[in-house]
Amino acid sequence: MNLQQLKYVIEIVRSGSMNEAARRLYISQPSLSKAIKNLEEELGKTIFTRTSTGITLSPDGAEFLGYARQVVEQVELLERRYFNTAPSPQLFSVSTQHYAFAVNALVEMIKKHGSDKYQFTMRETRTYEIIEDVKTLRSEIGILYVSLFNEKVMMQLLKEEGLEFNLLFKASPHIFVSSQNPLANRSSVTLEDLEDYPRLTFEQGEYNSFYYSEEIFSTIPSKKSIQVSDRATLFNLLIGLNGYTISTGILSADLNGSNIISVPLEEGEVISVGWIVHKKAQLSRMAKLYLEELERIIEFYV
């Protein structure tokens, strides 16, 4: 085993394919494949599972990746200390449901810990894709919620995929509405109060199960319903159509401005927001720093 092979494994995971990794590493795809095969033979374990649609990390590969990242990071620290080599770009990726506080945490992490070179990825995406990203280690961390309605199904799914859920905070449901909405000045609202307003939700694509919905009470019919794919569109529609969406109640004035108001929803549901991680993965330094900023921001808001 050598350091270059460890770097190859890290780059393949980051790139998502053998061909793209070979291009970024400036070597041929057959040479890269041979290097990985030799490493697997030496270890006596399968790092990547090959299929007709590409490659994914095996359970052993997920565990190996965590150690490989630690070794490469430590070697780079030694090289910078004693050989004055330029630091490699910092790497980190997170997949999340559409939460402003998740973006805030990345902003703060970069401000405090970002170097001259970094390659960070934040994917605000669908629930199923968050789980897939963390399962395949395309992202180190995923951020999503569970509720009384979907908790049993989601926890079973995470267990089957080799993932674990770590609670960040619990919140009672709120609605987000325009500051000009007639409901904005209410101390609280009920589901009945919302019947005549457009309900805005995030679409989930082909995995449009109620269990994957980003909003609680998704099984309750609505006379007016609009699905969107991003937060900017949702907030524009909240303002333009006097619509509403149901969420945690945590808003960031820095990111969302003062045009959106959070109003408590009088329902007995609880929203548990947390981060998911692969059970066999070891978090990188940047992932740990991100979680520190995330917890700090959550503590400030909650």
For the stretch 122-155, pLDDT in tens is 999 999 999 999 998 889 999 999 999 999 999 9
Spans of the chain, pLDDT less than 70 = 87, 253-257
pLDDT of residue 300: 86
Residues 6+ apart with CB under 8 A from 210: 149, 150, 218, 219
Q: Report if pTM > 0.95.
A: no
State the burial class of residue 167 (Cβ atoms within 10 Å of its Cβ: 0-12, 13-18, 19+).
exposed
pLDDT of residue 255: 62
pLDDT of residue 254: 66
Asked whether 71 and 4 are in contact (CB, 8 A), the reply is no
